Structure 1
Amino acid sequence: MPDLFDDLPDTPAQSGHRPLADLLRPRRLTDVVGQGRILSEDGPLGAMLAAGSLSSLILWGPPGVGKTTIARLLAAETDLAFVQISAIFTGVPDLRKVFEGARMRRANGQGTLLFVDEIHRFNKAQQDSFLPHMEDGTILLVGATTENPSFELNAALLSRAQVIVLERLTLADLERLAQRAEQELGRALPLDGPARESLLEMADGDGRALLNLIEQVGAWTLDCVLDRPALSARLMRRAAKYDKNGEEHYNLISALHKSVRGSDPDAALYWFARMLEGGEDPRYLARRITRMAVEDIALADPEAQRVCLDAWNTFERLGSPEGELALAGALVHLALAPKSNAVYAAYKAARASARQTGSEPPPLHIRNAPTRMMREMGYGADYAYDHDQEDAFSGQNYFPDGMKRPVFYTPPERGFERELKKRSEYFARLRIKRQGDG
C-alpha cells in the first residue's frame, strides 16, 4: 500500500526507539555521503536545483546509497509534497488514489514529488499509467531501482525522465558514516584498526547495512577492544551483491572474460571466485571458459580448448568444491596463453560473404557426380586430386566461378599461429605458381 502520510512531519505517536540509520538520515543534500558527483554544483542534480528546473528522475544504484534520502531532500528543496510508494505493495487502485491526491494538491497550488521505490517491478501497463500525470505536471516522478533501467523500464517512461546513476559507497565514505554514528552514540566503537576495516568491508558499499552493523556492535557490553577474528566470530559477513539473472551477472562474466583476454590470471581468478561466491553454477562458468578458448585463443594455442574440455569433464566427475579447482586451472592456462581472434574474425567475415553471395553454386569441377547425367553435364570434370599433385597441392579454385578470391583468415605472429602463418603464405605462393603454370 502507498504511504500517503510520508509528506507529513513526524508525530508524537511516531516517537520512540529509532534505528541508527533513521537517526542519521541527512537533513540537507550536502550531508549525503558518497554522491558528490551528482549533487555538486556541476553535477546533474546540483545544476537542476540551481536552475530551479527539477525534472522527473530515475535514481539507479545499489542498495543503501541514498536513493530514498535524496528523493526526500529534493522534495524539501523544491517545496513539493513528498509521497512514497513501493512497486512491490502498490496495485492499480492504490495508484489511482495517489494520482487523485496529487491532482487535489495541484488544484490547491502545491506540486507532488512521487517517489516510487523498486519502480522496475511495475509492469508495462502500470509504468504507462504514470505518463499522462508526468506530462501534465500533476506529479514529478522520482523512481528508484537497483536494476538497469534500459532493461527494466519502458522507453516511453525513460524518455520523460533523466537517469541518475548513484555509486556504491567507498571505504572512505563508509568511514565517514561510521564517525557520524560514533558521534550519535557518544562513544567510539570497541574495535581495533583491522577490525574496524573489516566492519567497513562487511557492509559491501551499503551505508544502511553499515549503520545496522554498527548498531549491533554498539549494543554489546564489552570490557576490551575486539580484533578482526573476534569481530568475525560475532558478526556474519554480508553476502556479496550478485543476481544470477540480472545485470550484475553480465557485468561479472564480462569482467572475467576481459581479464582472460587481457592475460591477467589474477584478475581472472578474482572474478571467477566472485561469481562462485555469489552462487553461480560452475557449469555455466565451464561453458563460458570453453568459449573463451575458441574465441580469444583458438589456434594460437590448440591445446587450450582441450584443456578447457578436460577441466569441464573433471568437474563433472569430481563435483563441488574440488571440481572448481580444475576450472581455475583452465582459466589460468587461458589467461597466460597467446591470444588470437583470427579464426573468430575469419568466421564472421566468411558468414558475411556467404550472406552477400546468396546461392552461388560451387564450380563444376568440385561438384559431386554420382550419376552419368551429372558427369555428362560436367560435374566433377577436370578435378585435380591433390594427393596426386606435386607437393599434394593442386592450387585449383574452390570458390564460385566469377567470385573474387577473398582472404578471411590472417594468422598473427603469435603462438602456434606463427607456423600456420608460414603455411598460409607457402600455399598462397604455391597457388599463384600453379595457376601461372596452368
Structure 2
Amino acid sequence: MADLFDSDAPQPTGGEEPNRPLADRLRPRSLSEVIGQQQVLGPEAPLGVMLASGSLSSLVFWGPPGVGKTTIARLLAKETDLHFVQISAIFTGVPDLKKVFEAAKHRRANGQGTLLFVDEIHRFNKAQQDGFLPHMEDGTILLVGATTENPSFELNAALLSRSQVLVLERLPLADLELLTQRAEKELGRALPLTGDARDALQEMADGDGRALLNLIEQVSAWRVESPLGREALATRLMRRAAKYDKSGEEHYNLISALHKSVRGSDPDAALYWYARMLEGGEDPRFLARRLTRMAVEDIALADPQAQAVCLQAWETYERLGSPEGELALAQAVIYLALAPKTNAGYMAYKAARRLAKETGSTPPPKHIMNAPTKLMTEQGYGAGYQYDHDAEDGFSGQNYFPEGVKRPVLYQPVERGFERELKRRTEFFAKLRLQRNS
C-alpha cells in the first residue's frame, strides 16, 4: 500500500492543534517562513529564479534529514498552484505508482498540474526510476525527489538529466536558534534551560531541524524549579548519534577530509577527522591501512621513516586492541601530518607506467642483457657492459633505457625533508652521466 499524502485530504482542525507534534505545528506556511537554505531559496538562487520566472523544472533535493526537503516541496506546489501528492519509495510499489500517474493524467485533462514529491527516491530501482520519465516528459507530473544519498551514485543518468539537483545543507546553530525561538513562541513559554544548556540542546540536534523540535517538545514538558545546566540536560537527554554510514558517502567524505588534512600538514584537523570516524564506528584497521597509504603517497621519501611509523602503529593496534590501540594510530596521524611532504615518487611511478605502456615490448639494450649461452654471446648480449663498481666514483654512466627511447626524467625530488638529499644525489649523477657520455 502506498504511503500517500494528497493535498485534498482532510487536514486537522484548529481544535486539534495542541495535540499535533510541534514539528507539524511549526511547518512554514510560505517559502518566506522557511529557516535557512537561502542557497536554493534566495532571490538569485535556483528556486528563487525559477519562481520569479514562472518556470519550475523537476528537482532532486539532496541533503541530510530534517533540513526542509518535504516542507519546501509542499510549499512549491502551493506557490505554483500545483496539486501536491507525496509518496515514499519505501512503501510504494509499481501498482501504486500506476495509480498516481493515472490520477495525475485525469487532473491534467481537467487543467490541474501535479507536483509529485517522492521521498527517499534513491530506494527505487532502475526500472522504477525509468517509469517516471515518460510522465515527466509529457508534463503529467512535475517530479520533486528527495534523497539523503549522493544522486550521482543512486539515481539514473536519464532521471538526473531531466532534473536539477539542489543541495540542502545541515542547519547551522544560528538557524537552530531561530527555530528554537519560533518554538518557544508557539509553546508560549521559554525553555527551562540556561544559555549554555540551550546551546547544548541545539548541538544535540546535529543540524536537523526536526530533531531539534522533537527535543524541544520533550524539554518543554519538564517541570523544574530552576533552569537546567548543560550537565543536567545531558543526564536527561541522550545525544543524537552523528550521521555516519561506514559503506556510504559519509565514509568517503570523512576519509577524504582526514587524508587532505594530513596532506595539508594540519595535525589538529587530522586528529579531529580521525576521531569523527572512530566515533561513527569505523574499523580502526581501515584507518591503519589508509594512514599507511598516506605515508606512501604523500610523504614517501621526504621521510622514509613515516611508512615504518604507520606499520608499527598498525601492529600495535593488532596487539593491544581497543581503546589503547587507537592511540597508537592517533600518534601516527600526528606524525604524518607534521612530516615533510612529497609526491615526487608517486608522480615518477605514474610517469614510468605511462612510458612502459607507450614503449610496449621494446627489449633492453643488449649490453645490459645476460648471455648465459654461446648463441646469446654471439648475438652481442652483454657486449660492452661496464661494471659500475670498477668505474670511477662507482658510476659508469651507461644508458639503461631501450634503444630508440629518449632518456626521460621521471623522478624529480623536491627540496623537502630527506628528499632534499636525494635531489642532491640525482643532480650529482646527472652531471657525471653527462661528463662520461660527452
TM-score, normalised by the number of residues in structure 1: 0.98
TM superposition shift of 1:36: 1.6
Q: Give the aligned residue type for 2:130.
A: D
Say yes or no: does 1:43 pair with 2:45. yes
Query: 1:3 touches 1:83 (CA, 8 Å); kept in 2?
Result: no
TM superposition shift of 1:5: 4.4
Query: 1:269 touches 1:332 (CA, 8 Å); kept in 2?
Result: yes
Say yes or no: does 1:146 pair with 2:148. yes
Within 5 A, what are the aligned runs for 1:6-25? 6-11=6-11, 15=16, 17-25=19-27
Aligned to 1:171: 173
TM superposition shift of 1:94: 0.8
Aligned to 2:33: 31
Select the residue among 308, 311, 327 that pairs with 2:313: 311
Aligned to 2:405: 403
TM superposition shift of 1:29: 0.3
Query: 1:59 touches 1:145 (CA, 8 Å); kept in 2?
Result: yes
| Unmatched tracts of structure 2, length 5 or more | none
SS of the residue corresponding to residue 245 of structure 1 reads: coil
TM superposition shift of 1:371: 1.8
Aligned to 2:341: 339
Query: Cα distance 1:12–1:29, how it changes in 2: closer, same or farther (>3 A)?
Result: closer
Select the residue among 217, 240, 259 that pairs with 2:242: 240
Coordinate RMSD, CA, aligned: 1.2
TM superposition shift of 1:381: 1.5
TM superposition shift of 1:370: 2.1
Moved more, 164-173 or 15-24: 15-24
Within 5 A, what are the aligned runs for 1:277-316? 277-316=279-318
Select the residue among 46, 56, 59 that pairs with 2:58: 56
Render the CA deviation track for 1:341-386: whole Å, top value 9, x for unaligned: 1101111111111111111110001112222221221111221111
Identical counterparts, % of pairs = 77
TM superposition shift of 1:11: 3.9
Query: 1:81 touches 1:113 (CA, 8 Å); kept in 2?
Result: yes
Aligned to 2:393: 391
Query: 2:2 touches 2:93 (CA, 8 Å); kept in 1?
Result: no
TM superposition shift of 1:390: 1.5
Aligned to 1:210: 212
2:42 and 2:289 map into 1 onto residues whose CA distance is: 45
Select the residue among 97, 101, 104 that pairs with 2:106: 104
Aligned to 2:189: 187
SS of the residue corresponding to residue 58 of structure 1 reads: strand
Query: Cα distance 1:137–1:424, how it changes in 2: closer, same or farther (>3 A)?
Result: same
Aligned length: 436
Render the CA deviation track for 1:375-410: whole Å, top value 9, x for unaligned: 221111221111122211111110001211000111
Query: 2:4 touches 2:88 (CA, 8 Å); kept in 1?
Result: no
Query: 1:2 touches 1:84 (CA, 8 Å); kept in 2?
Result: no
2:372 and 2:325 map into 1 onto residues whose CA distance is: 51
Q: Give the aligned residue type for 1:65.
A: V
1:4 and 1:338 map into 2 onto residues whose CA distance is: 58
1:353 and 1:4 map into 2 onto residues whose CA distance is: 60
Q: Give the aligned residue type for 1:200.
A: Q
1:237 and 1:377 map into 2 onto residues whose CA distance is: 78
2:5 and 2:394 map into 1 onto residues whose CA distance is: 87
TM superposition shift of 1:12: 5.2
Query: 1:59 touches 1:143 (CA, 8 Å); kept in 2?
Result: yes
SS of the residue corresponding to residue 6 of structure 2 reads: coil
Query: 1:191 touches 1:227 (CA, 8 Å); kept in 2?
Result: yes
Q: Give the aligned residue type for 1:67.
A: K
Query: Cα distance 1:170–1:11, how it changes in 2: closer, same or farther (>3 A)?
Result: closer
TM superposition shift of 1:84: 0.5
SS of the residue corresponding to residue 86 of structure 2 reads: strand
1:10 and 1:217 map into 2 onto residues whose CA distance is: 31
Render the CA deviation track for 1:92-133: whole Å, top value 9, x for unaligned: 111111111111111111111000000011110000000000
1:40 and 1:126 map into 2 onto residues whose CA distance is: 33
Aligned to 1:116: 118
1:167 and 1:41 map into 2 onto residues whose CA distance is: 18
1:340 and 1:197 map into 2 onto residues whose CA distance is: 42
Moved more, 48-57 or 384-393: 384-393
Render the CA deviation track for 1:131-179: whole Å, top value 9, x for unaligned: 0000000000000001111111111000101111111100000000000
Render the CA deviation track for 1:301-350: whole Å, top value 9, x for unaligned: 01000000000010111111110100110110010011111101111111
Select the residue among 365, 380, 383 that pairs with 1:381: 383
Select the residue among 260, 275, 278 that pairs with 1:276: 278
1:12 and 1:432 map into 2 onto residues whose CA distance is: 89
2:189 and 2:366 map into 1 onto residues whose CA distance is: 91
1:288 and 1:60 map into 2 onto residues whose CA distance is: 28
1:97 and 1:297 map into 2 onto residues whose CA distance is: 59
Say yes or no: does 1:224 pair with 2:226. yes
1:216 and 1:50 map into 2 onto residues whose CA distance is: 40
SS of the residue corresponding to residue 431 of structure 1 reads: helix
TM superposition shift of 1:37: 2.0
Q: Give the aligned residue type for 1:199.
A: L
Render the CA deviation track for 1:213-258: whole Å, top value 9, x for unaligned: 0011011111111001000011111111111111111111111111
Query: 2:120 touches 2:146 (CA, 8 Å); kept in 1?
Result: yes
SS of the residue corresponding to residue 10 of structure 1 reads: coil
Query: Cα distance 1:357–1:66, how it changes in 2: closer, same or farther (>3 A)?
Result: same
Q: Give the aligned residue type for 1:379.
A: Y
Q: Give the aligned residue type for 1:135.
A: E
Q: Give the aligned residue type for 1:178.
A: T
Query: 2:58 touches 2:144 (CA, 8 Å); kept in 1?
Result: yes
